[in-house]
Structure 1
Amino acid sequence: MTTAQQAPDILSPAFAADPYAAYRIMRDEFPLIWHEPMQSWIVSRYEDVERAFKDKESAWTTDNYGWQLEPVHGRTILQLSGREHSVRRALVAPAFRGSALQEKFLPVIEGNSRDLIDRFRDTGEADLVTDYATHFPVNVIADMLGLDKGDHARFHGWYTSVIAFLGNLSQDPEVTASGLRTREEFAEYMLPIIQERRENPGDDLLSSLCAAEVDGTRMSDEDVKAFCSLLLAAGGETTDKAIASIFANLLQHPEQLAAVQKDRSLIARAFAETLRYTPPVHMIMRQVSADVEVSGGTIPAGSTVTCLIGAANRDDRRYADPDSFDIFREDLTATNAFSAAADHLAFALGRHFCVGALLAKAEVEVGVDQLLDAMPDIRLADGFTPVETGVFTRGPQSVPVRFTPVGRTGAAGAAQ
């Protein structure tokens, strides 16, 4: 056990610039850290983070979401437990798997991806973040919910504000105030729509959520609004960063990009490895209700624990050559990478495993496939190397690429 003064500080500029070097030091030398400014213990080894997420011990709870999430979302499924959690999950989960996902929402995903690509497919250049990834998941969620995609700028502003609130580790008062305003604005926007869908249901996800019933239990307007807020923030931010990171990783490993271009079934492997190597979310908190023994010492009852996914996913006690991006690695299984039995921790594990994991997988597989079709000779802009930013969530802010538009050849195409 040690103090933050002796170990890398996750609020420092050096950490923000390169957390992976700090993660290595933390795992090897400081597996348990008390961080005074955050009032939180920090764990970084795979076995400890996995244990926190699997939560088979009653000591590991999500009570922290009462202060971390509820102020901006309202009370969500993430902070529930026991029967209340199982019923609520049963109300929302069917829309994100099986026939509902494949038959109802896959065409929505495909159409939104094509619409975005059509805007640049003939130009020979694009920024995969600003031209595609930033818009794609939010547009999909808006269409799924039956909302007006013309409000994209508002949706993006809201989820950006919420994610900033969640990642406000230094407790910046302006970030806090913005997050609280977002809850009010989102409620003013959504509650009238929810009430209208109850009276005039359609064939959209929002109508399904309003009508869903399990054992005589239905969600209130506030419950539905809170879930939509969570879906917009979690689904928008994480898929946005995941798509940008997949291409950043593949473009810097041309032989692996070539393999994926030739065999599109490898997209799932590329996504799984990206979730391990450069996860969109680098840390998730938990709270312990009893003393818990972990690597390096004891976490006292009542403490908040910051679980470093970005560190655990590169733990050499769990993965061979963990700091290398390798879609063919044998210690990561793509077939279960999007289930609660995943070999990585990017979606958490256990009963709070991400309910939207299969939606994210569908979005990524469709998006990457269509982008590769439109840009068969995709390459990074000359002299550009993608750089990740962020601490709580992390990904490249820009991935400018060049390509020969399909159907154009010769000098004219090359000039693009």
Structure 2
Amino acid sequence: MATTQHVPDILSPEFAENPYPAYRAMRESAPLIWHEATNSWLISRFEDVERAFKDKDSVFTTDNYDWQVEPVHGKTILQLSGREHSVRRALVAPAFRGSELRDRILPVIERNARELIDPIRSAGEADLVDAFATRFPVNVIADMLGLDKADHERFHGWYTTVIAFLGNLAGDPEIAAAGDRTRVEFAEYMFPIIRERRANPGDDLLSVLCAAEVDGVRMSDEDIKAFCSLLLAAGGETTDKAIAGIFANLLTHPEQLAAVREDRSLIDRAFAETLRYTPPVHMIMRQTAADVTLSGGTIPAGATVTCLIGAANRDAERFHEPDTFNIFRDDLTSANAFSAAADHLAFALGRHFCVGALLARAEVETGVNQLLDAMPDMRLADGFVPSEQGVFTRGPASLPVRFTPA
């Protein structure tokens, strides 16, 4: 391992303020760091993180989710491997792609975007995070599942608690206890609804999941509850921060915002570049099943590996001028940016590539399009400079904009 004396600790205020200089120092001089406080190895170079995600030799496993995810969600698809994983993925994946996405989910996405944007069209000002980004994906998921959107505040509270639990790198006992309470509360909320939906199926995603069958296997009530919990947390937090990030990046690069406003096909490029430049999730963990040698040394078997997506996505060995936001860059392909063949690492890669990537893309395309239509001269509030918050997940906490009222 190389020296780490000039690298800010990932739990330090300096790192939370701006992790990108630390990421650069890691990639250049300390690509493999043993981090005592999180009991994990930190990897930061693109080639190493890509290898951990794409691993076909089963050296990098998701066994870490047994303690990282299961306490708040229950056992999820993230923890499974082999045939068990492929069957579970086959049960849920069809709902998030192709005709199901186009015919069943896209109208839900479009309706929820309109419902949030219509009340602010005439205001002339809005905080895009508070008024739209934090609400939109949660409302979409609740609507998709056929849950009562009047419970939005409960959903938002639950997923915020879950994300805090997942990002509890310092082991705060109060955050851990809140995560445990959330698992119990969400189960008590969901199980009666799942039983009712099995007895009286509707046209919603929850009914689809209750009826789904592959090779004679159906999802149990616990399977469905765990997947819904994962969907709310992962789909809510990440899409929330992605939408806020896209606008923060475009509003601070007005010429690129103007290009997207004129040619909406560029939304895919803006989303892909945001996923690379300011990814919503900065860290994903894996666990080693055998000794493995990466840049900087060897990680022993049975170790937790923290894959620093935020660092890898700005690796100068992979991307030209990586610290520059540029939707027109030629080393990032938007055509495959939402598939397991993506050039960036924000959705992970390989067999655990994000099952909701196409859902996120549909939400982003719809939300960005409708916001640009409603606010054609959108600009940042005078004097406001966007900034990100968070370590495990990261994004703008606020994004006040001004525009001519409709």
TM-score range, shorter chain: over 0.9
The answer for the alignment partner of 1:308 in structure 2 is: 308
The letter of the residue matching 2:344 is H
Once residues 400 and 66 of structure 2 are traced to their aligned partners in structure 1, the CA distance between those partners, rounded to angstroms, is 40
Q: 1:3 to 1:84 in 2, by over 3 A?
A: farther
Q: How does 1:25-64 map to 2 (within 5 A)?
A: 25-64=25-64
Deviation at 1:3, TM superposition (A): 6.7
The answer for the alignment partner of 1:412 in structure 2 is: none
The answer for the alignment partner of 2:186 in structure 1 is: 186
The letter of the residue matching 2:176 is T
- Do structure 1's residue 7 and structure 2's residue 7 form an aligned pair? yes
Q: Which runs of 5+ in 2 are unaligned?
A: none
Identity among equivalent positions (%) equals 79
Say whether the 8 Å CA contact 2:117–2:371 is kept in structure 1: yes
The answer for the alignment partner of 2:76 in structure 1 is: 76
- Do structure 1's residue 283 and structure 2's residue 283 form an aligned pair? yes
The letter of the residue matching 2:197 is R
The letter of the residue matching 2:393 is T
Q: How does 1:305-384 map to 2 (within 5 A)?
A: 305-384=305-384
The letter of the residue matching 1:56 is K
Deviation at 1:8, TM superposition (A): 2.4
1:223-263 superposed Cα distances (whole Å, 9 cap, x missing partner) = 00000000000000000000000000000000000000000
What value does the CA root-mean-square deviation take over the aligned residues? 0.7
The letter of the residue matching 1:211 is A
Say whether the 8 Å CA contact 2:379–2:403 is kept in structure 1: yes
The answer for the alignment partner of 2:158 in structure 1 is: 158
1:370-399 superposed Cα distances (whole Å, 9 cap, x missing partner) = 000000000000000011000000000000
Deviation at 1:7, TM superposition (A): 3.0
Say whether the 8 Å CA contact 2:116–2:132 is kept in structure 1: yes
Deviation at 1:58, TM superposition (A): 1.5
Q: Which runs of 4+ in 1 moved over 2 A?
A: 2-8
Q: 1:318 to 1:84 in 2, by over 3 A?
A: same
Once residues 204 and 335 of structure 1 are traced to their aligned partners in structure 2, the CA distance between those partners, rounded to angstroms, is 29
Deviation at 1:56, TM superposition (A): 1.0
The letter of the residue matching 1:209 is L
Say whether the 8 Å CA contact 1:4–1:34 is kept in structure 2: no
- Do structure 1's residue 254 and structure 2's residue 235 form an aligned pair? no
Once residues 248 and 172 of structure 2 are traced to their aligned partners in structure 1, the CA distance between those partners, rounded to angstroms, is 31
| Residues paired across the two proteins, number | 406
Deviation at 1:69, TM superposition (A): 0.2
Once residues 5 and 145 of structure 1 are traced to their aligned partners in structure 2, the CA distance between those partners, rounded to angstroms, is 49
Say whether the 8 Å CA contact 1:125–1:401 is kept in structure 2: yes
Say whether the 8 Å CA contact 1:42–1:305 is kept in structure 2: yes
The answer for the alignment partner of 1:138 in structure 2 is: 138
Task: Say which is worse superposed, 144-153 or 1-10, in terms of deviation.
Answer: 1-10
Deviation at 1:6, TM superposition (A): 5.6
Once residues 173 and 3 of structure 2 are traced to their aligned partners in structure 1, the CA distance between those partners, rounded to angstroms, is 26
Once residues 230 and 3 of structure 2 are traced to their aligned partners in structure 1, the CA distance between those partners, rounded to angstroms, is 34
Once residues 256 and 210 of structure 1 are traced to their aligned partners in structure 2, the CA distance between those partners, rounded to angstroms, is 44
2:214 is paired with a residue whose SS is: coil
Say whether the 8 Å CA contact 1:138–1:235 is kept in structure 2: yes
The answer for the alignment partner of 2:204 in structure 1 is: 204
1:154 is paired with a residue whose SS is: helix
Say whether the 8 Å CA contact 1:3–1:34 is kept in structure 2: no
1:119 is paired with a residue whose SS is: helix
The letter of the residue matching 2:223 is D
Once residues 7 and 362 of structure 2 are traced to their aligned partners in structure 1, the CA distance between those partners, rounded to angstroms, is 40
Say whether the 8 Å CA contact 1:3–1:35 is kept in structure 2: no
- Do structure 1's residue 17 and structure 2's residue 22 form an aligned pair? no
Deviation at 1:5, TM superposition (A): 5.3
Once residues 50 and 23 of structure 2 are traced to their aligned partners in structure 1, the CA distance between those partners, rounded to angstroms, is 16
TM-score computed with the length of structure 2 as normaliser: 0.99
Once residues 387 and 265 of structure 1 are traced to their aligned partners in structure 2, the CA distance between those partners, rounded to angstroms, is 27
1:298 is paired with a residue whose SS is: strand
Q: Which runs of 5+ in 1 are unaligned?
A: 407-416
